[in-house]
Structure 1
């Protein structure tokens, strides 16, 4: 390796060439799509992706409908806007790191184009470094509204007869008047959509990230635009990630008075995540599941780092890829309709991999000796048993998610929420341990023992709804599901038929208690304690409530809410390699930098940097690696002269091993550059105690 070569030596810009749309794309030479595991992964993820897209439309539908309706009606009262030079505007509070933030405004732009006006422009902060560039980008988008283009190719679609210095509001106003004349009623065509013929079509300007704009640029842009409100029906849509006060801080009164603003609130990202989990991920129709540690890792990253549902979905997708990658026996992680066909396609090696799974080995140990040999030796018999066990696993998954929702419905509104307020918290506890044996479970049922008749009826009705939905949509036969539904229906009917009079204990007149005569204080205390231990007679409602809770806590939940580790072949459905996922998702930059500087061969994979021992230093290593490994041998203060001599002893050793006072300028420059790079990375800093020393800032390898 050349000692003077650096990866940061230069940076060059190359303009992207235009590609003919008719030119076919190069086909990938990879054969991954022929692998069974890849086909199974692609099929499963495609089905989940469709559900996620429909859920996203459902989440955004309400806020977008209100916003579109406001933009449709904002220019009805034009006289008021013209008199005050006010621009109708809408502020959309998206929340911090709203998932699919760009997708939200892309959907809004699409709906406005389809329902309100064809003239929609989106201004990104990166394209608006000055007021002039912001106006130019705005005019370009409006004048090319009927063409599909990328931001980088926007200028190439403009007509040749318009110069760049003419991209201003005067040109836009003249162009808009020309559009109105060209679309007069006399020239209407039957083939054109009615939307383009609307004379009152507004010019909508979407600014997705107000915080990213320079306040000075935004103020001047709004002031200039307000002067053309008489000729241009402008409408502004501001995207604010934090709060409305962020917009007020950016716009002083003389600017904000030019806006007629309306505020719209979007759904918080935590609520969106709960919907993604409850409707897509934590369902029996999705066979791929996460174990407790991996699920907790992904939710912690979301809650404590970025609050991005898009990031959570991408992390979940990576876990799915990791689960299927080069593991052909995981093709059984599929729907129940594809199970039989996938089992028949398994090879002998894949069957042997399934036999080696720990859950199956534990299952075999519980069988009699006569049944063990056929399972381990006969592939045909093993496939039959495998299909039965995988069908039972699908049934277990249906039971798990159904009764988790039932338990969550009963316990979510309890004081202090011992099992958590969200379904994801109950799920995480249920798959890591036997939830029916946990102290939180017992505390919840103690609190349920104080529920009123109306509250209990409401919760029981929701539980019956979950059971009915599961029994009607189930694709596998699940034992006792309808029996539980019938039993709970009896309790529901019994409680509902009880009147208020039956639920309240009638008042009785106090009766005299014989405590005897001539008793001392101690005997009186014992007598009162004995009387207090006597249970009061229960009313009909209290008796029914007690029997219901005993039935749920003693028979239903302990039977169906068991950890997945107790089920054979749970490894096929449940991903449990949290260490590998954490290494790839949660970055450790300091450890990565230490590895790169301590052993550059790990990343470069060149022969010149290969080390026999990790502690050795060779002159063919990059200069910064040599300087870094030398600095690891020093204490808190590093003498620059001694450091340079140690560097020379490795890079340019003398024949006699003596101190080198005359240093070649090239070598001294290499040493100085390596030290500067270490300072830039934060490993050292100049010392104020001694001028010829530097202070070491890091200790340890990670």
Structure 2
């Protein structure tokens, strides 16, 4: 019988044997490393990545500091725990953004290693299918703390140091006592006198066990593990850290009273993932320092995936990274998506073909159509002249970006706390509207300024002070022209001084007392109505503060925001900085399982990496 013949129906696939899979990948890497677009992409993303890492440390710092402090102090008062066998534990409420948990617990483990103890074990649910395997993973990580790096090294550690049947609490207790004893033997006699005979007073001897995902653990395994560990808490200073994605009651439901009574629990709350995303956007992506920008549709897609799919900031960052790669891929003129200081050398490095591609951009075409006829020909024919104009227009584009983001933050500061927040409470909501249309013509904008017209003196001064602070923080040594921002700051400072100088008494003095109006006697109802209408048409007298407030709002709504908060499509070469390939992004980051399965069944060679050598036989 042939080797592909079967009694039942079947599908037999024969893949090529002598095929070097690594060759094309190496060739691709070697060629792309020398490409201009790839170097530009690496520079942009590296700068973004540095800011993201710094922000992550800042976001995690507060919750991690509290956790580390608790773990340092939880075994200090051992007398109160004598005879109760309670294990100090911390429950960290992380939220449902599961992909972000790895970064949080990796940062926690790193800080514990640096500040508290070298003995830290992280137990993943996928490795702890039984109580025995749970204890094995914990013991191996604690006893091989200076060698343990990843789950792949676990088997090698077992062969080198221990047998699996030796990975238990008795072995751990004996090893721990030996470690502490050897440490004390290395101490000076003076230091030994200051240390009590209790082994658990040394803060570096705490054994921390981190369980990042309690929901993924089997409740029975978790209960047995805690009960066994509580029997050794007198000889082992154990500390448990539980990561809970939903609520504390999840842990209570998993642990009955006879188990939860063995824990001395403390609850810690991490900030919501939406707050973390807002910080990422406000401090990294929605700034003029980041040359790469998203258009309104792509930005809305990424936000919708975050809010309605996974609530993962890590996922949002990966999607954003894909947009950056798609923006730069195989397009050398995108090297101009850089800082202003790098524009001149990057423009000189462009070839004639790349300059021609820049001339074909729709925004530049619209710009040329508005020029006089005598100025069009040099731009379309003379490359040297085009390079000069290109540098000028790209510098102006960066200036537009600076003005746009600065005044967008000013508008958000003024409107975010208004009733019902017509423009939204978050900066991302204002940004999404501002890049999709002329925000000063929107009904939400007009409603906001109507509400600002009713603001009290104290509230308006507080908001105006924050706006002045935003304008003041714009550095004066930027290579783009910011004189208009300085003018705006100077003008708003004058309005601020004017409003401050208008005191309560001065405002009362400017109010004119209503004069008595002689309506007359013996008039009929129609004459009374006409008289009242005539009185209502007379202009109402305003106080000093109301006049100053009206002038300020007219200046902002009529001059500042309409001039600088215009959509980026109005600026030439906006395609260089703004990414707008919504269809490509949607196809790659939004799952379409039905289409993928259909394609895999029709074209199996696409997934098997074999075009013509795949032989498929259907046998009845």
Aligned-residue RMSD, C-alpha: 2.6
Cα distance change, pair 143–335 in 1 and its aligned pair in 2 (3 A): same
Task: Select the residue among 383, 396, 401 that pairs with 1:392.
Answer: 396
CA distance in 2, matches of 1:81, 1:74: 10
Matched residue, 1:593: 597
CA distance in 1, matches of 2:605, 2:114: 56
Matched residue, 1:516: 520
1:113-150 deviations in Å (ceiling 9; x for gaps):
11111111111101110111101111111110111422
SS of structure 1 residue aligned to 2:216: coil
Cα distance change, pair 362–232 in 1 and its aligned pair in 2 (3 A): same
Which TM-score applies when normalising by structure 2? 0.91
What does residue range 196-595 of structure 1 map to in structure 2 within 5 Å?
199-200=202-203, 201-472=205-476, 474-504=478-508, 511-595=515-599
1:596-638 deviations in Å (ceiling 9; x for gaps):
44666776785699xxxxxxxxxx9876xxxxxxxxxxxxxxx
CA distance in 1, matches of 2:340, 2:577: 12
Q: Contact 2:113/2:119 (CA < 8 Å) preserved in 1? A: yes
Q: Contact 1:86/1:257 (CA < 8 Å) preserved in 2? A: yes
Structure 2 gaps of 5+ residues are 16-24, 190-198
Cα distance change, pair 28–442 in 1 and its aligned pair in 2 (3 A): closer
Matched residue, 2:196: none
CA distance in 1, matches of 2:411, 2:578: 21
Matched residue, 1:120: 120
CA distance in 2, matches of 1:169, 1:472: 64
- Compute the displacement of 1:186 (Å): 4.1
Matched residue, 1:55: 55
Matched residue, 2:91: 91
SS of structure 2 residue aligned to 1:312: helix
User: Which segment is superposed worse, 462-471 or 575-584?
Assistant: 462-471
CA distance in 2, matches of 1:28, 1:579: 25
1:376-431 deviations in Å (ceiling 9; x for gaps):
00000000000000000000000000000000000000111111111011111111
Cα distance change, pair 509–444 in 1 and its aligned pair in 2 (3 A): closer
SS of structure 1 residue aligned to 2:30: coil
Cα distance change, pair 408–56 in 1 and its aligned pair in 2 (3 A): same
CA distance in 2, matches of 1:476, 1:422: 28
CA distance in 1, matches of 2:250, 2:479: 51
CA distance in 2, matches of 1:388, 1:252: 71
- Compute the displacement of 1:27 (Å): 9.1
Cα distance change, pair 391–621 in 1 and its aligned pair in 2 (3 A): same
CA distance in 1, matches of 2:169, 2:502: 74
- Compute the displacement of 1:26 (Å): 8.2
CA distance in 2, matches of 1:153, 1:161: 12
CA distance in 2, matches of 1:45, 1:132: 44
1:316-340 deviations in Å (ceiling 9; x for gaps):
0000110000111110000111100
Cα distance change, pair 141–606 in 1 and its aligned pair in 2 (3 A): closer
CA distance in 1, matches of 2:400, 2:29: 41
Q: Contact 1:98/1:309 (CA < 8 Å) preserved in 2? A: no
- Compute the displacement of 1:199 (Å): 3.3
SS of structure 1 residue aligned to 2:152: coil
What does residue range 18-29 of structure 1 map to in structure 2 within 5 Å?
none
- Compute the displacement of 1:270 (Å): 0.3
SS of structure 1 residue aligned to 2:435: helix
Matched residue, 1:178: 178
CA distance in 2, matches of 1:444, 1:70: 46
CA distance in 1, matches of 2:98, 2:591: 22
Q: Contact 2:76/2:201 (CA < 8 Å) preserved in 1? A: no
Which TM-score applies when normalising by structure 1? 0.81
Q: Contact 2:408/2:565 (CA < 8 Å) preserved in 1? A: yes
Q: What is the total number of aligned residue pairs between the two structures? A: 595
Q: Contact 2:519/2:531 (CA < 8 Å) preserved in 1? A: yes
SS of structure 2 residue aligned to 1:147: coil
Q: Contact 1:414/1:447 (CA < 8 Å) preserved in 2? A: yes
Cα distance change, pair 471–156 in 1 and its aligned pair in 2 (3 A): closer
SS of structure 2 residue aligned to 1:30: helix
Matched residue, 1:690: none
1:200-222 deviations in Å (ceiling 9; x for gaps):
42101100000100111111111
1:151-190 deviations in Å (ceiling 9; x for gaps):
122232247564321211111111111111110154569x
Cα distance change, pair 119–602 in 1 and its aligned pair in 2 (3 A): closer
Q: Contact 2:295/2:435 (CA < 8 Å) preserved in 1? A: yes
CA distance in 2, matches of 1:263, 1:68: 13
CA distance in 2, matches of 1:505, 1:305: 59
Higher helix fraction: Structure 1 or Structure 2?
Answer: 2
